[in-house]
């Protein structure tokens, strides 16, 4: 599975969810409570869409009671991210464009560049690759003026996804390696693991299985070190694909089983079915 860097989401979700819930319990301010509800929703987006939606609904209810322009803009951005992850692409784009308009009022160039990139992700998900590249390039141009290397690297990674989608593996690798270099430079460890995962998958497509396994093992070690179970599941699953490609079914089954077991124990509902499909 190729991974996008969604920018608005975070890795190592469960520990952050637990910490944010403690904060939520102790906060009394309406605006702070709304902000925390939205932040918890972000954490749930990748691992449990039902819980993400529950917290977004709660945030929406409180926003109606205590309007706040920043929280409103942030809410629409995260709702757009959630809708992207459940593949409701047209609705996601609508939410993200609403967020863009609100952040424009706040004169937040960094947020505007992030949203352009998130809209690019929507078009990539729906395989409208020309539109995806257009939005990533707009985001890149905006990023130049704010010197945000994290966002720059995310755009390179996600452009790599587009080139992978159209079968241009040379361009895909060039963009993934550009992202990898920047993520390493700014010590974004878990994003580094995402780029390594994506480089590994391109190498599977090119039948460079030894290289693929090496990149995946590096990503696995990072995700173990930083307790990122969600991406660790994906790495083990992709390792299974690598071994299956060379007809090493024993190792393939071992890694598919490991991925499914981690997903099941961690409650990653959205990933468990995918893992079980590979085992089937």
- Per-residue pLDDT, 49: 92
**Long-range contacts: 95-100, Cβ < 8 Å, 24+?**
96/122, 99/73, 99/74, 99/75
- How do residues 172-218 score in pLDDT, each as one tens digit? 999 999 999 999 999 999 999 999 999 999 999 999 999 999 999 99
- Per-residue pLDDT, 265: 83
- Per-residue pLDDT, 228: 87
Asked if 146 and 152 touch (Cβ cutoff 8 Å), the reply is: no
Q: Return the sign of the alpha-carbon dihedral for residues 42, 44, 48, 53.
A: negative
Q: Rg of the Cα trace of the chain?
A: 19
**Which pLDDT band, with edges at 50, 70 and 90, does 264 fall under?**
confident
- Per-residue pLDDT, 87: 95
Check residue 5 and report its DSSP letter.
-
- Mean pLDDT for 70-93 is 97
The overall average pLDDT reported for the chain is 91
- Per-residue pLDDT, 276: 52
Q: How far is CA 130 from CA 17, 127, 146, 210, 248, in A?
A: 36, 9, 25, 32, 38
- Per-residue pLDDT, 267: 73
CA distance 16 to 97: 28
- How do residues 156-177 score in pLDDT, each as one tens digit? 999 999 999 999 999 999 999 9
**Which pLDDT band, with edges at 50, 70 and 90, does 47 fall under?**
confident
Tokens for 228, please give them.
């990122």
Cα-Cα end-to-end distance for the chain: 17
**Which pLDDT band, with edges at 50, 70 and 90, does 145 fall under?**
confident
Tokens for 182, please give them.
């920047």
Q: Locate all alpha helices (DSSP H) within the chain, ordered by sequence.
A: 13-26, 30-45, 49-65, 69-85, 89-105, 109-125, 129-146, 149-165, 169-185, 189-205, 209-225, 229-245, 249-266, 269-279
CA distance 68 to 53: 20
- Per-residue pLDDT, 197: 97
- Per-residue pLDDT, 203: 98
- Per-residue pLDDT, 274: 54
**Which pLDDT band, with edges at 50, 70 and 90, does 273 fall under?**
very low
Tokens for 146, please give them.
């704010």
Q: What's the pTM?
A: 0.88
- Mean pLDDT for 102-116 is 95
Between 89-103, 135-149, 186-200, the lowest mean confidence (pLDDT) is in 135-149
Biggest alpha carbon–alpha carbon distance for the chain: 59
Asked if 196 and 222 touch (Cβ cutoff 8 Å), the reply is: yes
pLDDT above 70 covers a percentage of the chain that reads 91
- Mean pLDDT for 140-158 is 92
CA distance 27 to 24: 5
CA distance 191 to 181: 11
pLDDT at 6 over 80: no
- Per-residue pLDDT, 8: 43
- Mean pLDDT for 230-241 is 94
């Amino acid at each position: 599975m190729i991974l996008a860097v969604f920018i608005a989401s975070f890795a190592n979700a469960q520990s952050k969810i637990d910490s944010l819930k403690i904060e939520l319990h102790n906060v009394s301010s309406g605006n702070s409570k709304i902000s925390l509800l939205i932040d918890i929703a972000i954490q749930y987006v990748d691992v449990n869409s039902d819980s993400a939606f529950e917290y977004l609904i709660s945030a929406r209810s409180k926003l109606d009671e205590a309007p706040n322009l920043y929280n409103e803009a942030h809410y629409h951005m995260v709702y757009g991210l959630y809708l992207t992850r459940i593949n409701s692409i047209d609705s996601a784009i609508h939410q993200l464009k609403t967020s863009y308009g609100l952040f424009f009022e706040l004169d937040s160039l960094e947020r505007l560049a992030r949203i352009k990139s998130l809209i690019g992700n929507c078009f990539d998900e729906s395989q409208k690759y020309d539109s995806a590249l257009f939005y990533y390039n707009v985001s890149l141009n905006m990023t130049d003026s704010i010197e945000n290397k994290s966002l720059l690297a995310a755009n390179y990674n996600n452009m790599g996804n587009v080139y992978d989608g159209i079968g241009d593996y040379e361009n895909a690798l060039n963009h993934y390696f550009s992202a990898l270099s920047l993520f390493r430079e700014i010590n974004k460890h878990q994003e580094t693991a995402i780029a390594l995962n994506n480089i590994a998958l391109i190498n599977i497509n090119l039948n460079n299985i030894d290289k693929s396994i090496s990149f995946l093992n590096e990503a696995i070690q990072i995700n173990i070190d930083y307790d990122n179970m969600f991406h660790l599941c994906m790495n083990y699953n992709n390792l299974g694909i690598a071994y299956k490609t060379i007809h090493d079914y024993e190792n393939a089954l071992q890694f598919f089983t490991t991925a499914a077991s981690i997903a099941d124990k961690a409650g990653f509902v959205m990933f468990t079915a995918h893992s079980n499909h590979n085992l089937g």
